Amino acid sequence: MARNKEKEVKSKIYIGSRTFDVVLYILMGLLSIVFIYPFLNVLAISFSGNSAIVTGQVTFFPRDFILDGYEMLFEDENIFQAYWNTIVIAAGSVVFSLTLTSMMAYVLMIPDFVMKKPLSIYLLITMFFSGGMVPGYLLIRNLGLFNTIWALILPGAISAYNVFVYRAFYKGISLDLREAAKIDGASEFGILARIYVPLSKALYATFGMFCVVGVWNSYMPALLYIKDKDRQPIQMVLRRIVFANGIGAMQNANDMINNGKLNYLNVQYACIIMTMGPILLAYPFVQKYFVKGMQVGAVKG
């Protein structure tokens, strides 16, 4: 009798678990459609002809396939320079962010560091209060960083949230390794570079990718601090074409639009695809580190 009841309970648990899995898969499938459809629609419109776009025939797949939107986009003389500027800014931001955040998190992790508490309080305050846009702008000008890529790299080099997550990750590494290295004569910087950094690859991959995405999608700092077009990142080109009607500066595109051969959405959506393409290609290579990198910061204090 007891065995029958046990089997019945296990059967109910199994059925409940399978039902939950089915509901979860259906829900995730619907969410995937909601998230993927706008991207596929933008991609299809960028390759579609004017008549198909105007009549609303484009959904997932292009109609009247054309490449004119991309051709017009690459006629912009600033597009390749903007790409290069964005790559330099993103690489510099990642290097400075990972290096400086690691160093600060490491010293805050050391139990006998005398400035541990004051620095932690100082960082905590910056999570709730900021200087504001106008003081930040004046600071950039007074430091001589205005109209340079350093104005887009240095202000975001250290984040208080990142420091605390790094510190939590480092606390998960045994202090015995640090003590053994000190006995062998290693310096603090050597301990960080040779022990903590190699053991924190998931953390660096995760936050490095977050940093790249944040820099790649940001245009407000460039709008405030960069004056010359040849120093602007790709997002400023995207903003000019999509929001500021920058397509009007392309005479060939204007003529083709007036003749009905090209739709203004072709160039705008082509610019969107070309802007987000590198990030989409980079995600699969670091995706496996995301769960591990974020979980450690969430469960360790």
Mean pLDDT of the region 42-70: 84
Percent of the chain's residues with pLDDT above 70: 83
Contact 162, 211 (CB under 8 A): no
Distance CA 215, CA 94 (A): 9
In this prediction, residue 6 carries a pLDDT of 60
Question: Can you give the length of the chain in residues?
Answer: 301
Query: What pLDDT does residue 102 have?
Result: 92
Three-class SS state of 172: coil
Q: What is the DSSP letter of 263?
A: -
pLDDT at position 9 over 60? no
pLDDT at 101 over 90: yes
For 240-299, how does the pLDDT look when each residue is reduced to its tens digit (9 = 90+)?
A: 777 755 555 555 555 555 556 677 788 888 888 888 888 877 777 766 666 555 555 444
Band of residue 5 on the pLDDT scale cut at 50, 70, 90: low
Question: How many whole angstroms separate alpha carbon 86 and alpha carbon 221?
Answer: 13
pLDDT at 267: 80
Residue 172 has pLDDT above 60, yes or no: yes
Measured distance CA(8)–CA(2) in Å, rounded:
10
How does pLDDT run across 180-235, given as a tens digit for each residue? 888 888 888 888 888 898 888 888 888 888 888 888 888 889 989 998 888 889 88
Average pLDDT of the segment spanning 102-131: 87
> What is the pLDDT at residue 58?
85
Q: What is the pLDDT of residues 122-168, one digit of tens each?
A: 888 888 887 788 888 999 999 999 999 999 999 888 888 899 989 98
pLDDT per position as a tens digit, 12-22: 566 667 787 78
Q: Would you say 69 and 133 are in contact if contact means Cβ atoms under 8 Å apart?
A: no
Q: From CA 271, how far away is CA 260, in angstroms rounded?
A: 20
